[in-house]
């Protein structure tokens, strides 16, 4: 893997921008003087990046960052921002990406901001120098001063980092046994909450285990330019008969967070439609016990979910695990360890944390690394043949497609990754009658990814001028027909009216503030096809994304169609919200749908208030909307206070949520500043290359 990811992770563990920019300076609220009738701002035209209308960050400049050494050698006079390391600073300053003065017991920044200040434990050191790590006062000795010389800093980077030992590969026999016992057909049903038990069908043993999925394919079979490699499997000795690993050897805090994760965090929190093989409840935690970076990433995510629900929660409860995960992952990369599934899962888990914090710039950094690891470890064929591989492709593929659609560029994964996934699920739906509902849902979700990938490719070509308006219109219509045909072609088993919810004893009386009827029959499906409800919401949002790029549909007709899709999403969202049997985290899966629907609802106080309440609800669940989106919505609502919080008088804006919001805004602002610096340096290099070429040309002409 290139140096860019090393640099990226290092920046996440302690690079501070000396000239910080406030979030408000980066995204000043601007309120237009006119609005389209019945629309949330100007209508997106053909080739317009959808991210502009939802506050998605500008993807320009997201090239591989250069190493810190190259950055220090930039040309004199270049206007750049000086970065310094704060590897020994407190957790809060590291995560906020600001310089820590390391005052004990509370640093100056935490004291001024009334933040809790916690320092990491002193690391063990190598060699005879600097063996004393803890002075008499108990404070940790600095690893390296932020003001150290460049030479010392270079030596530190070249040194062998302290961290976990390399996880050795298991032998092939253990891999096969592991596939049979752990990734094979049977699924555990113990220690599962009632909501989790209702999710998805039970496996009955017809899926053929793929041993190739548990190890590498041959290089000749890979579609990647890199050679594939065998990856390390968890130790079989840690697996209990129930399928859950034994984590009794872990510290009490880690055990508590893991238990919370398995009982309260579902695949819906990861925006995954199904998880019939208990990937998130069983497989992922078991992998984590063999990789400390992954363990801390998962525990950090669980701690975040717990903290955000506790009015007296403290950010350090999850930041300490998050930071440790990043540091351990960085150490593994510096040691040039083989890419492993555990390493890939760590990157994906860290990317999920970034999504919850609204930091799409950092998420894209993880995405690129995950792409390299995924294509190094799997091929489309081997990935599809195990539940582990399919979930990894789904997990990564969601990021890939969403970023492509919002940012206006094609996906990184080739189409065969998505089509092979669908073909495998279709085959299993036929051969595995006992679990056919699960395979049908997997296949339909995969088909939507195939169509969405085609959309992102078309929009990227249009925005770059790589396709004529006539050809764009033809391809746009073809994809729209495919999308509607996909919805109309769902198997009857997924839309069987007998599965519709008919018990509305929980219904309340509607009032003047309601914009939809969430208790209307025919909207909400019960288990085992509850996911059909969510998939219908995704269909409506995808259709909205596609139709709003139309260059041929009459405007008034188009407005009406988009508004119809928006209302359908709102009805689904509130029906799921009001249903007492809704599984935990399911609203997170359709949060992007509601954000897009907000653009196409009537622009009046009633609809604005309804949408603002849904945005507030999602944030209380831990899904932070970035300040860029809040600014766009504040413009649309003509309500500047929405940049701070969605509801008047800080209703529902708990202290912990305020702290997380402030932390996320500052962190994202610094990420944008770093992005701008990278862009300035790239432009400077190109300018120097152009000048050198011109000088060489003139010299040649003067001969």
Q: What is the mean pLDDT of the chain?
A: 77
- What is the pLDDT at residue 246? 85
Domain interval for residue 340: 229-379
Choice among 69-78, 276-285, 496-505 with the minimum mean pLDDT: 69-78
Choice among 18-22, 115-119, 623-627 with the minimum mean pLDDT: 18-22
Question: What percent of the chain has pLDDT above 70?
Answer: 65
- Helix 341-356 vs helix 360-377: angle between axes, to the nearest 10 degrees? 160
- What is the pLDDT at residue 2? 62
Asked whether residue 420 carries a pLDDT value surpassing 90, the answer given is yes
- What is the pLDDT at residue 96? 66
- What is the pLDDT at residue 73? 40
- What is the pLDDT at residue 13? 60
- What is the pLDDT at residue 24? 42
Tracing tokens 């928006």 back to the chain, one arrives at 566
Choice among 150-164, 297-311, 594-608 with the minimum mean pLDDT: 150-164
Ramachandran angles phi, psi of 273, nearest 5°:
-70, -40
- Mean pLDDT is highest, among 142-151, 179-188, 238-247, 283-292, for 283-292
The residue with greater pLDDT, 552 or 510, is 510
- Mean pLDDT is highest, among 122-131, 544-553, 576-585, for 576-585
Distances (CA, A) of 52 to 22, 112, 367, 629: 20, 35, 20, 9
pLDDT digits (tens, 9 = 90+) for 647-672: 999 999 999 999 999 999 998 887 66
- What is the pLDDT at residue 169? 38
- What is the pLDDT at residue 113? 73
**What would the mean pLDDT of 667-696 be, rounded to a whole number?**
55
d(CA 293, CA 347): 9
Q: If we measure between CA atoms, which residue out of 549, 501, 547, 503 comes closest to residue 522? A: 501
Distances (CA, A) of 492 to 200, 330, 428, 568: 17, 49, 17, 21
**What would the mean pLDDT of 190-197 be, rounded to a whole number?**
35
Choice among 14-18, 276-280, 411-415 with the minimum mean pLDDT: 14-18
Asked whether residue 194 carries a pLDDT value surpassing 50, the answer given is no
**What would the mean pLDDT of 480-484 be, rounded to a whole number?**
98
- What is the pLDDT at residue 671? 67
Residue 147 lies in a domain: no
Asked whether residue 431 carries a pLDDT value surpassing 90, the answer given is yes
pLDDT digits (tens, 9 = 90+) for 196-233: 333 333 333 333 333 233 333 333 333 333 444 444 44
User: Which helix (H) or strand (E) is 15 found in, with range?
Assistant: strand 15-17
- What is the pLDDT at residue 90? 78
The dihedral of CA 502, 506, 510, 516: what is its sign?
negative
Asked whether residue 82 carries a pLDDT value surpassing 80, the answer given is no
Residue 274 lies in a domain: yes
- What is the pLDDT at residue 353? 98
- What is the pLDDT at residue 112? 74
Tracing tokens 């903290």 back to the chain, one arrives at 307
Residue 200 lies in a domain: no
**What would the mean pLDDT of 634-658 be, rounded to a whole number?**
97
Question: What percent of the chain has pLDDT above 90?
Answer: 57
- Give per-residue burial for 62-98: e unless 16+ CB within 10 Å, then b: beebbbbeebeeeeeeeeebebebbbbbbbbbbbbbb
**What would the mean pLDDT of 154-168 be, rounded to a whole number?**
37
Burial environment of residue 141 by CB neighbours within 10 A (0 to 12, 13 to 18, 19 or more): middle
d(CA 27, CA 290): 42
d(CA 672, CA 23): 9
Confidence of residue 350 (pLDDT cuts 50, 70, 90): very high
pLDDT digits (tens, 9 = 90+) for 328-344: 999 999 999 999 999 99
Residue 306 lies in a domain: yes
Which pair of tokens denotes residue 219? Answer: 């290089």
- What is the pLDDT at residue 702? 61
d(CA 629, CA 57): 9
Quick one: how far is CA 65 from the chain centroid?
20
Residue 245, beta-bridge partner list: 239
Asked whether residue 360 carries a pLDDT value surpassing 50, the answer given is yes
User: Which helix (H) or strand (E) is 377 found in, with range?
Assistant: helix 360-377
**Are 489 and 440 a contacting pair, CB within 8 Å?**
no
d(CA 293, CA 307): 21
- What is the pLDDT at residue 19? 35
Q: If we measure between CA atoms, which residue out of 525, 393, 426, 445 comes closest to residue 274? A: 445
- What is the pLDDT at residue 182? 34
- What is the pLDDT at residue 674? 59
**Are 436 and 447 a contacting pair, CB within 8 Å?**
no
pTM: 0.72
The dihedral of CA 301, 303, 308, 314: what is its sign?
negative
Residue 278 lies in a domain: yes
- What is the pLDDT at residue 245? 75
Q: How many domains does the chain have?
A: 1
Asked whether residue 49 carries a pLDDT value surpassing 80, the answer given is no
**Are 55 and 360 a contacting pair, CB within 8 Å?**
no
Asked whether residue 43 carries a pLDDT value surpassing 60, the answer given is no
Residue 137 lies in a domain: no
Asked whether residue 433 carries a pLDDT value surpassing 60, the answer given is yes
d(CA 702, CA 693): 14
**What would the mean pLDDT of 676-692 be, rounded to a whole number?**
47
Asked whether residue 154 carries a pLDDT value surpassing 60, the answer given is no
Which SS3 state, helix, strand or coil, does residue 67 take? coil
**What would the mean pLDDT of 533-550 be, rounded to a whole number?**
97
Asked whether residue 677 carries a pLDDT value surpassing 70, the answer given is no
**What would the mean pLDDT of 458-478 be, rounded to a whole number?**
95
The residue with greater pLDDT, 25 or 698, is 698
- What is the pLDDT at residue 32? 29
pLDDT digits (tens, 9 = 90+) for 229-255: 444 444 433 333 346 678 999 999 999
Residue 500 lies in a domain: no
Which SS3 state, helix, strand or coil, does residue 83 take? strand
Residue 260 lies in a domain: yes
Choice among 65-74, 95-104, 347-356 with the minimum mean pLDDT: 65-74
- What is the pLDDT at residue 680? 47
């Amino acid at each position: 893997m290139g140096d860019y990811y090393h640099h990226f992770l290092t920046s996440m563990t302690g690079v501070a921008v000396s000239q910080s920019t406030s979030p408000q300076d980066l995204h000043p609220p601007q309120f237009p003087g006119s609005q389209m009738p019945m629309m949330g701002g100007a209508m997106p035209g053909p080739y317009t990046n959808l991210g502009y209308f939802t506050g998605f960050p500008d993807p320009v400049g997201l090239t591989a960052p250069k190493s810190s050494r190259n950055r220090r050698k930039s040309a004199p006079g270049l206007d750049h921002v000086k970065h310094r390391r704060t590897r020994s600073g407190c957790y809060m300053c590291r995560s906020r990406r600001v310089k820590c003065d390391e005052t004990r017991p509370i640093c100056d920044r935490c004291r001024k901001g009334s933040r809790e200040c916690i320092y990491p434990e002193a690391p063990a050191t190598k060699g005879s120098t600097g063996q004393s790590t803890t002075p008499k006062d108990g404070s940790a000795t600095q690893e390296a001063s932020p003001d150290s010389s460049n030479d010392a800093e270079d030596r530190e980077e070249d040194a062998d980092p302290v961290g976990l030992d390399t996880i050795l590969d298991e032998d092939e026999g253990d891999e096969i046994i592991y596939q049979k016992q752990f990734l094979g057909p049977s699924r555990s049903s113990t220690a599962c909450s009632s909501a989790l038990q209702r999710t998805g069908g039970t496996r009955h043993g017809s899926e053929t285990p793929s041993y190739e999925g548990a190890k590498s394919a041959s290089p000749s079979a890979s579609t990647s330019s890199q050679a594939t490699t065998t990856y390390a499997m968890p130790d079989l000795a840690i697996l209990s008969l129930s399928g859950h690993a034994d984590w009794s050897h872990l510290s009490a805090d880690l055990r508590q967070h893991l238990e919370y994760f398995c009982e309260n965090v579902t695949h819906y929190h990861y925006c995954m439609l199904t998880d019939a093989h208990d990937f998130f409840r069983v497989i992922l935690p078991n992998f984590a016990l063999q990789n400390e970076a992954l363990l801390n990433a998962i525990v950090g995510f669980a701690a975040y979910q717990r903290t955000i629900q506790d009015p007296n929660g403290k950010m350090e409860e999850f930041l300490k695990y998050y930071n440790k995960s990043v540091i351990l992952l960085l150490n593994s990369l510096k040691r040039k360890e083989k890419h492993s599934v555990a390493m890939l899962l760590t990157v994906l888990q860290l990317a999920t944390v970034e999504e919850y914090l609204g930091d799409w710039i950092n998420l894209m950094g993880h995405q690129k690394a995950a792409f390299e690891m995924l294509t190094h470890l799997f091929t489309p064929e081997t990935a599809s043949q195990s539940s582990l591989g399919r979930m990894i492709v789904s997990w990564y593929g969601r990021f890939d497609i969403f970023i492509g659609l919002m940012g206006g560029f094609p996906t990184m994964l080739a189409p065969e990754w998505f089509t092979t996934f669908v073909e495998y699920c279709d085959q299993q739906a036929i051969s595995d009658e006992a679990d056919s509902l699960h395979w049908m849902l997997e296949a339909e979700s995969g088909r939507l990814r195939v169509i969405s990938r085609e959309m992102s490719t078309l929009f990227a070509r249009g925005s770059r001028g790589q396709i004529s308006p006539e050809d764009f219109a033809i391809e746009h219509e073809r994809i729209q027909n495919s999308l509607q045909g996909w919805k109309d072609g769902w198997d009857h088993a997924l839309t069987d009216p007998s599965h519709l919810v008919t018990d509305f004893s929980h219904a309340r009386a509607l009032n003047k503030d309601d914009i939809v009827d969430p208790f209307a029959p025919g909207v909400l499906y019960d288990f085992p096809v509850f996911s059909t409800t969510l998939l219908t919401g995704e269909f409506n949002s995808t259709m909205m994304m596609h139709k709003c790029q139309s260059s041929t549909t009459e405007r008034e007709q188009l407005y009406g169609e988009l508004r119809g899709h928006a209302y359908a999403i709102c009805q689904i969202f509130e029906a799921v919200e009001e249903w007492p049997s809704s599984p935990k985290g399911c609203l997170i899966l359709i949060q992007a749908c509601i954000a897009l629907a907000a653009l196409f609802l009537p622009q009046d106080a009633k609809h604005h208030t309804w949408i603002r309440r849904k945005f507030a609800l999602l944030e209380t669940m831990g899904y932070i909307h970035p300040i860029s989106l809040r600014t766009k919505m504040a413009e649309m609502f003509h309500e500047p206070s929405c940049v701070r919080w969605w509801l008047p008088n800080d209703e529902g804006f708990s202290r912990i949520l305020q702290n997380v919001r402030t932390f996320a805004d500052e962190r994202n602002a610094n990420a944008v500043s770093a992005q701008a610096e990278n862009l300035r340096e790239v432009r400077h290099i190109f300018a120097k290359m152009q000048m050198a070429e011109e000088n060489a040309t003139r010299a040649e002409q003067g001969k």
